[in-house]
Structure formats: structure tokens, C-alpha cells
């Protein structure tokens, strides 16, 4: 390659990188919607190809039908759930007088035993100062969610209409050799389905089971706390304990010890074990996602994409781990990537334990 050709090549690479950085920076507020369109496209692409292939339906018509399906199956239930949650919060009622008296006695007991005054101004200021930040985060999250939903529908329509061309173009530019591109796309497909279907399904089941317990043991506003339990269930390990532990403590502080102990036992023996069982079943049916991937994926996703990052954060982190694993197998170990290495390692570990 001559000097002139090298100049053209590296100048073009520089222009692509520069424009890519600028465009990525400008598209960051809409990245959640774009990733959402990509995720739903993977879930409905087979329907698109079947209806436009063997059935010979019009592409634009099928794309509109699948958009309607997306709205009906994903967006409307989510909007109704948020609306119900807001309506319940408006009627949210706690026994503030009784609770305040018991909290005051608890604070006095702590101060008497430790000489630590919780109500001191210097101790309260860090908590008070964080409240405006939480409010700003919630408001920006709601507005960003609405904008990204519109972006999702717009991008998804054009992805569906030009699906085969888009897939062929992406297939050709993937930075993998020809023999393992199919394997990589299959692994990516499994990861997306595991996170996009598994995480919401787990949250709904956990919220429903928690709702039953909250009704039985007289928890205040069971719908609100069941909704919060749905979100808490996304985080492995403590998970739903973020909700039912404080709720049990509240019932105890109000003097309702029977329901407090009943809710604690129900959550510890039933809700927690059901959580582990559901995760086990989902991992076998979809993909064996490590709990740390979910935890850090949610944390990263919330900071990057807001509310929608609950799903897309784990997908992004799982994709990074997949690419790193391919690099390890292909270039550090010098072996062809087949996508079965991890499964064989896990089978080996399981047989060793047996």
C-alpha cells in the first residue's frame, strides 16, 4: 500500500472515529430507546420474517402490526402499572402518630445507651441534602422514559422494515471470523432474551407473591409495596428484603407484633425461597446469568439509561463479558470459539462437586 493509500485509509478511520464519538455523545439521552428497539426486534424478528416471507404480507403493514403488539404487550401494561402505583401513592396512609411515638422512644433509647443523638442537625443534614437529588432523578427519569419510548417505536419500525438488510450488514462488519459469527449471534440472542424476558418475569412473579403476603398480614398499601418489591427483586441476594424487612419493622413499631412476625416468617420462608427457585428455573430455561452481572448491570444501566437501564444494563454488561470471553479463547488461548466452553466448565465443576 502506497503512502497516498495509507493517508486515505487512516484519514478515513480518523473521520469515522471522530464522527462516531460526536454522534454517540449526542445520542446518549436516546440510547435507552435505541437499545430497547434492538431488544424488542430480537424478540419479534421471527414473526416479521414469517409474515413477510411465507405469508407474503406487506412489510410496512407487518411492521405497524408488530408495533401495535409491542404497545399492547409491553408499553400499555407498564404504563398501567405506573399509573396504578401513582394512584395508590396518593391514597398512601400510615399511622404517623403511633409510629412517631414509637420511633421517638427508640431514638431516646439509642441516645441513652450510646449518647448518639440521631435528631442532631449535623446528623440530619446529609439525609436532607440528598432529598432534592432523589426528586430530580425521578423527574428526569420519567421525562427521559417518555422520550425513549417514542424513540424506541420510531427506530423499531425502520429496523423491522429493513430487517434482513440490516442483519446482513451487521453480520459482515462483525469483528469475528466467519466460522464463529453464527455462534456469537446465537449467544447474543440468548443473552438478550434471558434479560429482556427473565428480569421482568421474575419481578412480576415476586411482586404477586409478596402482594399476597402483604394482604394476609395487614401491611399498609399492599399494592404500593408489591410494586416496590417488583423492583427490589431485580437485585439478587437481599433483593425483596429491601421492602419486606422495613415493612415488618414498621408493623412491629406500630405494636402489631403478630402480623410483623407473620410477615417476616412468610417473606423469609416463602418469598425468599420462591425467589431462588424462580431464578434457578429461569437460568435453566434462558441463560445462566451470574448474580453479580445482574447487580452491577442494573447499577450501570440506571446511571446510563435511567429507568430502562434495569433491563439494558445487564444486557450491556453480559455483551461485554461475552466479547471479552471470545478474545480470551480466540487470541490468548489460541482456540476457536464455539460458545460451549463455559457450559463444559460448569459441567466439570458440577461433576467435581458430586
CA pair distance 129, 17, nearest whole angstrom:
41
Position 302 in a domain? yes
DSSP code at position 236: S
- The answer on 148 and 38 residing in a single domain is yes
225 and 237 share one domain: yes
Does 182 lie in the same domain as 88? no
Higher pLDDT, 43 or 195: 43
Co-location of 164 and 199 in the same domain: no
165/193 same-domain check: no
pLDDT digit string, tens, across residues 309-330:
777 788 888 888 888 888 888 7
Q: What is the mean pLDDT of residues 158-184?
A: 82
- Is residue 192 domain-shared with residue 148, that is, in the same domain? no
The number of residues in the chain equals 354
**Does 147 share its domain with 232?**
no
Band of pLDDT at residue 353, cut at 50, 70 and 90: very low
Check if the beta carbon of residue 313 is closer than 8 Å to that of residue 302: yes
**Residue 298 · residue 235 · CB < 8 Å:** yes
Confidence of residue 302 (pLDDT cuts 50, 70, 90): confident
> In what helix (H) or strand (E) does residue 301 lie, and over which residues does it extend?
helix 291-305
Comparing 105-119, 140-154, 261-275, which segment has the lowest mean pLDDT? 105-119
Q: Are residues 181 and 325 located together in one domain of the fold?
A: yes
In the chain, the number of structural domains is: 2
Which residues form the domain of 223?
177-339
190 shares a domain with 69? no
Q: Considering only CA atoms, which of 35, 43, 77, 350 is closest in space to residue 203?
A: 77
What stretch of H or E contains 91?
none
Any idea which of 25-39, 84-98, 162-176 has the lowest mean pLDDT? 84-98
- Answer yes or no: do 166 and 182 share one domain: no
Indicate if 335 and 186 belong to the same structural domain.
yes
Please tell me which residue, 354 or 205, carries the higher pLDDT value. Answer: 205
Contact 274, 209 (CB under 8 A): yes
SS3 for 320-333 is HHHHHHHHHHHHHC
Q: What is the CA radius of gyration of the chain?
A: 25
187-230 pLDDT, tens digit each: 778 778 777 777 778 888 888 898 999 999 888 778 778 888 88
48: left (phi over 0), alpha (psi -120 to 50) or beta: alpha
* 134 pLDDT more than 80: no
Mean pLDDT is lowest, of 38-52, 62-76, 120-134, for 120-134
Contacts of 313 (CB under 8 A, 6+ apart): 296, 297, 298, 299, 300, 301, 302, 304, 305
Instruction: Specify the DSSP class assigned to residue 267.
Output: I
> SS3 for 188?
helix
Is residue 192 domain-shared with residue 287, that is, in the same domain?
Answer: yes
Q: What is the pLDDT of residue 350?
A: 45
Distances (CA, A) of 228 to 23, 77, 163, 170, 345: 36, 16, 37, 39, 37
In a domain, 354, yes or no: no
Amino acid at each position: 500500500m502506497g503512502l497516498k493509500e495509507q493517508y486515505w485509509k487512516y484519514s478515513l478511520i480518523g473521520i469515522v472515529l471522530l464522527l462516531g464519538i460526536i454522534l454517540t455523545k449526542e445520542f446518549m439521552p436516546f440510547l435507552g430507546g435505541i437499545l430497547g428497539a434492538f431488544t424488542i426486534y430480537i424478540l419479534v424478528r421471527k414473526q416479521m420474517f414469517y409474515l413477510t416471507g411465507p405469508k407474503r404480507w406487506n412489510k410496512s403493514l407487518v411492521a405497524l402490526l408488530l408495533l401495535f403488539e409491542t404497545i399492547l404487550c409491553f408499553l400499555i401494561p407498564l404504563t398501567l402499572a405506573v399509573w396504578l402505583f401513582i394512584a395508590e401513592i396518593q391514597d398512601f396512609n400510615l399511622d404517623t402518630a403511633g409510629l412517631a411515638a414509637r420511633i421517638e422512644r427508640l431514638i431516646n433509647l439509642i441516645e441513652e445507651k450510646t449518647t448518639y443523638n440521631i435528631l442532631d442537625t449535623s446528623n440530619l443534614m446529609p439525609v436532607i441534602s440528598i432529598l432534592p437529588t432523589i426528586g430530580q432523578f425521578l423527574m428526569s427519569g420519567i421525562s427521559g422514559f417518555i422520550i425513549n419510548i417514542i424513540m424506541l417505536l420510531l427506530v423499531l419500525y425502520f429496523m423491522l422494515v429493513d430487517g434482513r438488510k440490516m442483519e446482513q450488514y451487521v453480520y459482515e462488519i462483525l469483528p469475528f471470523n466467519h466460522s464463529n459469527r453464527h455462534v456469537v449471534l446465537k449467544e447474543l440472542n440468548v443473552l438478550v432474551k434471558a434479560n429482556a424476558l427473565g428480569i421482568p418475569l421474575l419481578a412480576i412473579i415476586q411482586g404477586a407473591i409478596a402482594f399476597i403476603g402483604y394482604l394476609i398480614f395487614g401491611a399498609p398499601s399492599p399494592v404500593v409495596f408489591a410494586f416496590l418489591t417488583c423492583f427490589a427483586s431485580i437485585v439478587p441476594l437481599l433483593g425483596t428484603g429491601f421492602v419486606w424487612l422495613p415493612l415488618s419493622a414498621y408493623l412491629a413499631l406500630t405494636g402489631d407484633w403478630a402480623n410483623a412476625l407473620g410477615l417476616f416468617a412468610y417473606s423469609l420462608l416463602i418469598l425468599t425461597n420462591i425467589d431462588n427457585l424462580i431464578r434457578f428455573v429461569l437460568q435453566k430455561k434462558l441463560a445462566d446469568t451470574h448474580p453479580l452481572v445482574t447487580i452491577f448491570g442494573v447499577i450501570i444501566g440506571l446511571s446510563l439509561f435511567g429507568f430502562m437501564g434495569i433491563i439494558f444494563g445487564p444486557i450491556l454488561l453480559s455483551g461485554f463479558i461475552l466479547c471479552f470471553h471470545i478474545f480470551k479463547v480466540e487470541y490468548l488461548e489460541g482456540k476457536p470459539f464455539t460458545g460451549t466452553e463455559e457450559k463444559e466448565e460448569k459441567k466439570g465443576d458440577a461433576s467435581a462437586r458430586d
